[in-house]
Amino acid sequence: MNSLIDILPVLLAGLSSLILFIKKKWRWNILAMAAIYVSVFWMVLQVWPTGLAVIKLIAGWMAGAILGSAVKEDSELLVEDNKVEQRFKFVIVMIIWIFSFSIMQSLKIKLPIPDSLLWGGVLLIIMGILQIGMSTRPVRIIFGLLTAFSGFEVLYAGVEQSVLVAGFLVIITLGIALVGVLFIQQEEGEIV
Amino acid sequence: MSAPLIWIGIPLIFSLMLFIIRGNRLLTLIIGGGISAFLALLALTFKIESVFPLGPISLEISSTFTILGRNFVITDSERLIVALLYSMCAFWIFGSRISGTNSFFVPNVLVIITLFVAALSVQPFLYAALIIEIAVLISIPIFFQRGQPVKQGIIRYLVFQTLAVPFILFAGWGFEVAPTSVDSQAAYYQAGVLLAIGLGLWLAIFPFHTWVPLLARDGHPYSAGFIFSMIPTTIFIFFLDFFNTFSWLREETLLLTICQILGIVMIVLGGLFAAFQRELTRLVGYAVMVEIGFSLLAISLNQVIGWQSYILIMIPRIIGIAICTLAISIWKNKELNIDFDSFHGVYYQSTFAVLGFLVGWFTFSGLPLLPGFPTKLPILIGLSQLTITPLIFVSIGLFGLFVAGFRFLAIIFSTRHNENEIESESLLQKIYFSIGIVLLIIMGIFPSVVLNPFLEILSAFANLK
């Protein structure tokens, strides 16, 4: 990594995915999702033209907006955070981060992409998988899927610049968000 | 006019229309089933890249459609694959009339099959992974059942299918860069590992098989059956493309050995779990595991006999799963407890559904005179040519399926402890099950007449003949 500008999106990705993982408050989750996609956009900008990279940002924000609009003020999804659980999750995240940084060098040999993309992508994938593995609520699993998939998008952007692939990835991101909305509606008994 | 426009564009528009009018169930079913059957017939009769005189004008169907710099190509040799997918689509859509699926089923199934056709025709073919993922996302609403929360099986299915995409895409990228890599052997090996993990997640291959019995239990049985039959069919055809394109895959003995071991593990696990399972829905999930195992064994043979069995085994599998899940759906709709203990004397109340389930089940088991036998036998013969050990394990798995079938048989004729009163079957149900049973029996008795024409599918894969 060459400069602070390259490190900042990785830090943003790490921080926002950490917030998404340990906080259960709905508004915090949506904000963290938005921040993740800002970091994705920032990282992808290093290898893609701005016009194409901005698609990631718009798609991610749209996904967040879709999920955010599905939750009502009186929803059962609005749960309070548990301090003990948060601390436990924080420790796990630290362990996983150390592990992911330890495998970074061997991955670097196999994937010829800029360091910041590699770090950011792997970080998001690991955080996403951690979220999927440690959640039972469908909506939180959707957040995990979106996080892991955004990490993959960062890595894949380094090796592939096809417009059609970018389009398909946008459809998948929005599709996962829409499935999340369906899960919320089904949980609340709104689907007939 | 291009072939992708006919077999991808038109059904996509129709499925969108059907989604809007999905409240009118009968109309949706007629249009959806009708358009699928029509497209299947069209694929069987129209030749691609040929000129058709149509009164004063002539019509030529080109094979390629270009969008955003990438091509969708349906060649003449791929028409049979398209016909197979759309005919199965019609089969599943018409069957949904009595299965009690939700209103999303018909439009979503049509769009899923259309996307599968798109996935098999996109160039470069690795982009298929993205299209299949879109189809998976579209398939989620068909599992929802009124008043029930989202269950673990549905979520796990979504997670496993989504996590497969990165592996497949990176495997494709690996295959592309491997020839120019400094250590191309290692690059090919790494790409192969990624491909194996991706396919393992997609096809529920051990140790990623856990979503299959869970989805069978948690999703609507008929919708789960559709996914169990059509996703492996599409992915196995997609997999053939890999074998056809990359010759080193066919020569890599390590890969073929892994395929054989995983195939045997799937068959043994599926068979043993089925033998001890009491819940009918999960039973079908285990049968699907055995079927996937047989497809892996067919690949591992790497001979003409293996590739032919690989294709032939798909057809009875689709019908078998359809008929079994349809029977379970009907019993579930009548609020019958889907446990073996609740099936005492059910034969006398639900004869056609029981017969349908048994014919479907013994097709999976490979009972002679049913199509599972002539399609699985060449695989077993191929396996036995090298060593007898794998055959012993495969027999254990098949024996497990037989045990489950005979346990069910022993219960359905016994009238004691029967507290469940279920309504008798409607005429429509009798017709559906009769068609399914007759189809399977004809396939089993005359496999060379009914099944062998499907071997034409292999003509799309020139290197595998």
- The identity of residue B243, as a single letter, is F
| Each residue's pLDDT tens digit, B324-347 | 999 999 888 887 777 887 888 888
B137 touches chain A (CB under 8 A): yes
| Each residue's pLDDT tens digit, B22-74 | 888 899 999 999 999 999 999 988 888 777 777 777 778 888 888 877 788 88
B69 torsion bin: left (phi>0), alpha (psi -120 to 50), beta (else): left
3-state secondary structure of A22: helix
**CA B260, B262, B267, B272 torsion-angle sign:** positive
- Which pLDDT score is estimated for A77? 57
- Which pLDDT score is estimated for A153? 92
Q: Are residues B110 and B231 in the same domain?
A: no
Which residue among A138, A165, A189 sits closest to B130, beta carbon to beta carbon? A165
Which residue among B68, B137, B141 sits closest to A172, beta carbon to beta carbon? B137
Residue with the bigger pLDDT between B427 and A82: it is: B427
A128-134 contacts at long range (C-beta below 8 A, 24 or more positions apart): A128/A17, A129/B163, A130/A21, A130/A92, A130/A93, A130/A96, A131/A20, A131/A21, A132/B159, A134/A89, A134/A92
B146 touches chain A (CB under 8 A): yes
In this prediction, residue B288 has a pLDDT band, given cuts at 50, 70 and 90, of very high
Question: What's the CA angle centered on B82, arms B78 and B86, to 5 degrees?
Answer: 170
The last residue of one of the domains, among B123, B147, B167, is B123
User: Which residues on A lie below 8 Å from B22 (Cβ)?
Assistant: none
User: Which residues on B lie below 8 Å from A187 (Cβ)?
Assistant: 149-150
- pLDDT of B8 above 80: yes
The last residue of one of the domains, among B74, B94, B123, is B123
What's the N-to-C CA distance of chain B in angstroms?
31
Q: Are residues B172 and B255 in the same domain?
A: yes
A79 touches chain B (CB under 8 A): no
pTM here is 0.91
* Residue B381 burial (CB count, 10 A): 13
B374, B385 contact by CB (below 8 A):
no
* Residue B450 burial (CB count, 10 A): 17
Q: Are residues B152 and B174 in the same domain?
A: yes
The residues that bridge with B60 in the sheet, in sequence order, are: B51
B158 touches chain A (CB under 8 A): yes
Q: Are residues B110 and B172 in the same domain?
A: no
What is the full DSSP assignment across B176-237? HHGGGSTTHHHHHHHHHHHHHHHHHHHHT-TTS-THHHHHHHHS-HHHHHHHHHHHHHHHHH
Tell me the shortest Cα–Cα distance from A95 to chain B, in angstroms: 22
Quick one: closest CA in A to B68, which residue? A164
Q: Are residues B191 and B334 in the same domain?
A: yes
Is B166–A186 a contact, with Cβ atoms under 8 angstroms apart?
no
The H or E element containing residue B57 is strand B57-60
Q: Are residues B80 and B206 in the same domain?
A: no
Mean pLDDT of all residues in B371-383: 91
- Which pLDDT score is estimated for B421? 60
Give the Cα separation of B210 and B285 in Å (integer): 10
B218 touches chain A (CB under 8 A): no
Nearest Cα to Cα of residue A119 among A46, A61, A170: A46
Say yes or no: ipTM exceeds 0.90.
Answer: yes
Q: Which of B65, B108, B132, B159 has the highest number of chain A CBs within 10 A, making it the mutation to test binding with A?
A: B159
Residue with tokens 């019509």: B59
Q: Are residues B343 and B396 in the same domain?
A: yes
Q: Are residues B255 and B324 in the same domain?
A: yes
- Which pLDDT score is estimated for B178? 82
Is A179–B137 a contact, with Cβ atoms under 8 angstroms apart?
yes
Length of chain A: 192
Q: Which residues of chain A have pLDDT under 70?
A: 1-2, 73-80, 189-192
The Cα-based distances of B27 to B21, B138, B271, B372 in angstroms read 8, 21, 41, 35
| Each residue's pLDDT tens digit, B108-158 | 999 999 999 999 898 877 788 999 999 999 999 998 877 778 888 899 999
Q: Are residues B17 and B132 in the same domain?
A: no
Q: Which of residues 98-127 of A touch B (CB under 8 A)?
A: 110, 125
| Edge-to-edge strands, sheet with B70-73 | B64-67, B70-73, B122-123
Q: Domain count for chain B, please give it.
A: 2
| Each residue's pLDDT tens digit, A20-69 | 999 888 888 899 999 999 999 999 998 888 888 899 999 999 999 998 88
In this prediction, residue B82 has a pLDDT band, given cuts at 50, 70 and 90, of very high
Q: Are residues B148 and B44 in the same domain?
A: no
B378, B307 contact by CB (below 8 A):
no
* Residue B149 burial (CB count, 10 A): 14
The pair of three-digit structure tokens given for residue B381, joined into one six-digit string:
């013969």
Q: Are residues B117 and B235 in the same domain?
A: no
The last residue of one of the domains, among B123, B145, B179, is B123
Domain boundaries, chain A: 4-178
- Which pLDDT score is estimated for B18? 93
In this prediction, residue B294 has a pLDDT band, given cuts at 50, 70 and 90, of very high
Chain centroid, CA B221 distance in Å: 14
The pair of three-digit structure tokens given for residue B341, joined into one six-digit string:
């203990």
3-state secondary structure of B351: helix
Residue with the bigger pLDDT between B324 and B302: it is: B324
Quick one: closest CA in B to A156, which residue? B170
The Cα-based distances of A191 to A69, A186, B149 in angstroms read 16, 5, 10
User: Which residues on A lie below 8 Å from B165 (Cβ)?
Assistant: 149, 152, 172
Q: Are residues B267 and B338 in the same domain?
A: yes
Tell me which residue range forms the domain holding B53. Answer: 1-123
Give the Cα separation of B234 and B420 in Å (integer): 39
Is A187–B149 a contact, with Cβ atoms under 8 angstroms apart?
yes
Quick one: closest CA in B to A176, which residue? B137
B346, B412 contact by CB (below 8 A):
yes
A66 touches chain B (CB under 8 A): no
> Which residues are within 8 A (CB) of B390 and not within 5 positions of it... i.e. 6 or more apart?
B260, B264, B297, B383
